Amino acid sequence: MKANSFRWCSGAVLAVILMLPTLGLGQENASEAAFSAALSTLKGASMAERGQAIEQLAAVRQPRVVVVLQALLEGRLFNLKADDRLVIGETVEEGYRLIDAQSAESLGTAARSAMQKIAVTNNLRASLRKLIGRLQLNNDDADVRLAAVKAIGKAVDADSLALLRDHLVLEQDAGVQKAIKLILGLEQLKRGDKAQRLAAIALLKDQASRDVVNRLNGLVEKDTEGRFREPDGEVRRQAEAALASINARLQLYAAAETLFFGLSLGAVLVLAAIGLAITFGVMGVINMAHGELMMLGAYTTYVTQQLMPDSLGWSLAIAIPAAFVISGLTGIAIERGIIRFLYGRPLETLLATFGVSLFLQQTVRSIFSPLNRSVATPDWMSGAWRINDFLSLTWNRFYILVFCLLVFALLLQILRRTRLGLEVRAVAQNRNMAKAMGIPTGRVDALTFGLGSGIAGVAGVALSQITNVGPNLGQVYIVDSFMVVVFGGVGNLWGTLVAGFSLGIANKLLEPYAGAVLAKILVLVFIILFIQKRPRGLFPQRGRAVEG
Amino acid sequence: MLLNGLKNDKVMASVLAALAAISLIVPLCNLLFAPDSPLYFSAYTVSLIGKYLTFALLGMSLDLVWGYCGILALGQGAFFALGGYVMGMYLMRQIGSRGVYGDPVLPDFMVFLDWKELPWYWHGFDQFWLAALMIVLVPGLLAFVFGWLAFRSRVTGVYLSIITQALTYALMLAFFRNEMGFGGNNGLTDFKDILGFNIQSDAVRACLLMASGITLILALLISRRVINSKLGRVVTAVRDQEMRVRFLGYRVENFKLWVFVFAAMLAGMAGALYVPQVGIINPSEFSPLNSLEVVIWVAVGGRGTLYGAIVGAVLVNYAKTLLTGWAPEIWLFFLGAAFILVTVLLPDGLLGFWRRHPKEQKQ
C-alpha cells in the first residue's frame, strides 16, 4: 500500500530523512497535480467515472483528501456552475458558505441554484466510508485513528476487518490497539470456530466494554425454545468465567464511582463547613449567615463572568480572590456591627446572624431577581474523564475535590504558620491571657471572622460551578455545614475534613438503596443520634480551654 | 384555681380579657351584622384573626421552652405541622367520595399515585376522637423521644438548637416524599367538612375562631399555673443555673423533658386549629425558616412572660400580612431587621421595654 509505504518512509533512517526535503517537494507537486486530476474526473457524469475518481483521490497523499471525501459522503460537495470548480458547501441562512475543495480557500456564499450537487450511489457511499476509515487510520493523531476505528467498528464487514487486522501490526498507540482488538475479538466470537472463539474470550476478558458484556451474555443465555444459543459447552464455561471476572471488575468500578461521588459531595460539604469551622469552631460564634456569605461568593462569580464574558477561565481565576474579599469584608462588617455586642450570648448571636442572612438574601433577590442565574463552566472543567465504558468521572467535581483540599491546606498553614494564625489560636484558647500578652483581641476577632467568611465566599465560587446560583443557595447548605462541624468536633479543622468526607461518602453509599432524599434524612437522623452519644463530635477538644 | 392571683398581674389579666373579647366579638359581628354594616367583619378577617390566634398559641408554646426553660428550640414548627397533618388526615377522610376521583376511601393523591388500599397509619382517622387524641399524642411522642435522648445526654445550648433545626429539616424532606403517604409536595387540601359541617361556611369559620381563642385562653391559664407551681420554679432555676439545680439533687433532664413535651402538645393543638382555617397543610410548614419566625415572635414580644409571645405573634404576623400585601420584597428586610434589632437592642422584647426592669421590681 502506498500510504503505508509513505508512513514507513517518514519513519525511516537518517539518510532518508535528510533526503526528504527535496523528495517531499517533488512529491507535493506531483500529488497536487494528481489531486486536481482526480477532482476533475469526479466532475464527470457517470457513476463509474466517479468511482474511479474516488479511488484516485484516495491514492493522493494530501490531508485535504479526507475532507473532500467526507463532504462527498455527506452530500456537501458541489460543482459551482459559473466557473466549473468543485466546492464544499456549508449550510448557512442565506444558502451555502463555500470553500474551494482543493485549496480550502473561502469563496463567500452562493444560492443552491448556482451549484450542482455531486451525487453518489449507496455502493459508492460504502466504499467511501471504507476509504475514509483507511485514510484516517493513517493519520498521525492517535485520537483521529481511535475515532476511525470506532467508526469502522459500528458496521464491520470482511474488508474492514482485514483492514483493521493489517493496521493492528503497524499501530503503536495502546488505546487504538485495544479498540481494534475489541472489534476483532467480538467478530471472532461471532463467526470463528471453537478454538478462535475460546481465544477471543480470553482476549476480551480484560476489556471493560458494554459490547463485550452483551455478547458474552448472549453466549450463556438460552433462546426462547430453551436451547443454549452457544452449542459448545466449553465455550459457554469460558464465557461464564469471563463474565464473572468482568462483573467482579464492574463492581470495583461501581465502588470506585460511589467513592468518587461521595468524595466530591464531601468536598462540597467540607468547603461549605470549613469557614464555619473557623467562626463557630474557633470563635464559638454561631453564624447563621454563613450560607449567605457563600451565596455572595457565587454571585461574585456570576458578576465577574458578566464583566468578562470572553475569557471564562480568567474570570473564574479573578472570582476566587474577589469572592474572598467581598465575603470577607461583609463578614468583618457583620462582626464589628452586630456580633461584637453579643459575645457570650450564643443564642442571641444565632438569632441576630439569622436576621443578617434574611437581609442578605433579600438584598440579592432585589438586585439580581429571585430567579436562578446560571454560571458558565470553562471548557476544561466541563465534560467527563471517561476511563472506560463503565467508569467516567466528571471534571468539575474532580476539580472541586482538588480545590477543596487546596483551600484546606492553605487554611491550615495560615492558622499554623502566620502571625494571625498564632493570635487566633491564642485568643481561642484563653482570651484574657491573650489580652494580657498584648494581643488586640478585638482586631483578631474581626480578622478571624473575616477569614472564615472569606473562605465561605471561596466555597461559593466552587458551588457556582456545580449548581445554579440563586438567593436560596446558602439555605440549602447551612444545616448541612453545621452538621459537618458538629459531627467533626467543634474547634478541630481535621475533624471537619474527616466529617465532611465521611458524611459525603455515607450519603452516596445509602443513595442506591434508599434514594437521595431518604439517604439525606438517614444521615441527618444518624448525626442527631450521634450527637446524643458524643455531644462534642468525633474529635472533641480536650483540656481546660473547653470548659471556658 | 386557674385564675388565682390574676389581680396582681395586670398585664396578664388585660391580655386575657382582650383575647376573650376578640374570640367573642369578631365571630359574633361576622354572623350578626350585614356585610354593609360598619361593624361587620368579613370572612377573610375572621380566618385571618383565627390564624393569628393559632400562631399566638404556637408562640406561647415556644416561650414555655425558650423563655422558661432556656432551650432555644428551632424546631417548634415541626410539632405545629405534625398536629396540622393529623387534623389534615381527619379532614381528608371526611371528604369521602366527593374527591375528584370519587374513591370512597382513598384520598385523591393516593388514587393518583395508583395506591390500592389505605396505609395502616391512615386507619381510624375518620373518627374525630382518635384524630383529636393523635393531635396531642403524635407531637408529644416525638418530643418525648427526641427530648429524652437529647436531655439525657446533656446536649445543651446551640447544639440543641442546631439538632432541633435538623429535626424539622429532616421531617420536611421526609414529608416531601410521595412514598410517605401524606400527599408529598402538595400536602393535604381540598377539605370539605369538619364534624359534618361545611368547612367553608361562615358559622364554622366563626366557631373555629372561637375554638382557637378558647384553646389559647385555657392554654395560657394552664401554662401560667404550671409556671407558678413548684415545677415551674425548678424549671426557671434550670434555665438560670442548670449545674446548681443538678447539684441540689433535681433530675434536670426530667423537668426539661416535661416542659418540652407539654409545649410540643400545645404546638400540635395550634397546628390542628390552623389547618381547617387556612384549608391546606403541606411540607413547607416544616421548613426551618418557619420555626425561626416563631422565635422572632417570642423575641419581639419578650420572652419569659407567656403573654409577650402572644402579643409578639400577633404583632409580627399583622406586620407580615400588611407588608406582604403591600410590598412583598420588604417583608424579609423587615424580618431580618427585627431579628437584629431585638437581639442587640431589646433583649427583653417590646413588653420588657415598656415594663419596668424586673430587677428593679424585686427591689
Residue B309 lies in a domain: no
Residue B298 lies in a domain: no
Burial class (CB in 10 A: 0-12, 13-18, 19+), A225: exposed
Nearest to A160 by CA among A131, A190, A189, A136: A131
Residues B211-265 pLDDT 10s:
999 999 999 999 999 999 999 999 999 999 888 999 999 999 999 999 999 999 9
Interface contact A528, partner B, CB < 8 A: yes
The total number of residues written for chain A in this structure: 548
CB < 8 Å from B in window 328-357 of A: 338, 341-342, 346-352, 354-357
Cα gap B348→B292, rounded to integer Å: 17
Q: Is A390 helix (H, G, I), strand (E, B) or coil?
A: coil
Q: What's the first-to-final CA gap in chain A, in angstroms?
A: 85
Distance from CA of B156 to the nearest CA of A (A): 9
Task: Assess whether pLDDT exceeds 70 at residue B172.
Answer: yes
Task: Assess whether pLDDT exceeds 80 at residue A270.
Answer: yes
Residues B299-308 pLDDT 10s:
888 888 889 9
Judging contacts by C-beta atoms under 8 Å, the chain B residues touching residue A535 are 153-155, 159
Residue with cell 470563635: A283
Residue B322 lies in a domain: no
Residue B299 lies in a domain: no
Which residues on chain B place their C-beta less than 8 Å from a C-beta of chain A?
72, 146, 149-150, 152-155, 157-159, 161-163, 165-167, 169-170, 173-174, 176-177, 288-289, 292, 295-296, 299, 329, 332-333, 335-340, 342-344, 347
Edge-to-edge strand list for the sheet holding A115-117: A106-110, A95-100, A85-92, A77-80, A115-117
Asked if B58 and B271 touch (Cβ cutoff 8 Å), the reply is yes
Residue B321 lies in a domain: no
Cα gap A344→B57, rounded to integer Å: 31
Residue B346 lies in a domain: no
Q: Is A109 helix (H, G, I), strand (E, B) or coil?
A: strand
- Hey, how many other C-beta atoms are within 10 angstroms of the C-beta on B102? 10
Mean pLDDT value across chain A? 80
Asked if B297 and B31 touch (Cβ cutoff 8 Å), the reply is no
Task: Assess whether pLDDT exceeds 70 at residue B77.
Answer: yes
Judging contacts by C-beta atoms under 8 Å, the chain A residues touching residue B167 are 528
Number of H helices, E strands in chain A: 22, 7
CB contact set of B334 (below 8 Å; sequence gap of 6+): B319, B323
Judging contacts by C-beta atoms under 8 Å, the chain B residues touching residue A362 are 329, 332-333, 336
Quick one: DSSP state of residue A45? S
Nearest to A122 by CA among A209, A190, A51: A51
Asked if A455 and A407 touch (Cβ cutoff 8 Å), the reply is yes
Residues A316-328 pLDDT 10s:
889 999 999 999 9
Residues A237-263 pLDDT 10s:
877 888 888 888 888 888 888 899 899
Interface contact A482, partner B, CB < 8 A: yes
Judging contacts by C-beta atoms under 8 Å, the chain A residues touching residue B174 are 517-518, 521
How far is residue A468 from each of residues A9, A298, B210, measured CA to CA in Å? 55, 9, 47
Cα gap B239→B260, rounded to integer Å: 13
- Tell me, what amino acid is at A30? A
Please report which helix (H) or strand (E) contains residue A518, including its range.
helix A516-533
**Owning domain of residue B82:** 6-288
C-beta atoms of B335 and A342 within 8 A: no
How far is residue B266 from each of residues B135, B139, B277, measured CA to CA in Å? 9, 9, 17
pLDDT of amino acid B295: 92
CB contact set of A136 (below 8 Å; sequence gap of 6+): A66, A144, A145, A147, A148, A151
Q: Which residue of B has its CA nearest to A515?
A: B177
C-beta atoms of A352 and B338 within 8 A: no
Please, which pLDDT band fits residue B361 given cuts at 50, 70 and 90? Answer: very low
Instruction: Give chain B's domain count.
Output: 1
Mean pLDDT value across chain B? 89
Q: What angle do CA A354, A355, A361 make, to 5 degrees?
A: 90
Interface contact A34, partner B, CB < 8 A: no
Cα gap B156→B145, rounded to integer Å: 16
Task: List beta partners, residue A88.
Answer: A77, A99
Higher pLDDT, A16 or A531: A531
Distance from CA of B329 to the nearest CA of A (A): 7
| Cell numbers describing residue A227 | 436451547
CB contact set of B121 (below 8 Å; sequence gap of 6+): B181
Rounded to two decimals, what is the model's pTM? 0.75
Residue B315 lies in a domain: no
| Cell numbers describing residue A33 | 497535480
Residues B285-337 pLDDT 10s:
999 889 989 998 998 888 888 899 999 999 999 999 999 888 888 888 888 89
Cα gap A528→B149, rounded to integer Å: 9
Residue with cell 479498540: A179
Judging contacts by C-beta atoms under 8 Å, the chain B residues touching residue A352 are 339-340, 343-344
Nearest to B240 by CA among A486, B232, A319: B232
Asked if B80 and B288 touch (Cβ cutoff 8 Å), the reply is no
Higher pLDDT, A63 or B101: B101
Identity of the residue in B155, B329, B340 whose CB atom sits nearest the CB atom of A356: B340
Task: Assess whether pLDDT exceeds 70 at residue B363.
Answer: no
Residue B16 lies in a domain: yes
Residues A221-238 pLDDT 10s:
776 676 676 667 777 787
Asked if B136 and B270 touch (Cβ cutoff 8 Å), the reply is no
Identity of the residue in B177, B288, B336 whose CB atom sits nearest the CB atom of A359: B336
Give the residue ranges of DSSP H helices in B5-125.
10-32, 43-63, 76-95, 108-112
The ipTM (two decimal places) reads 0.81
pLDDT of amino acid A189: 73
Please report which helix (H) or strand (E) contains residue B257, including its range.
helix B252-278
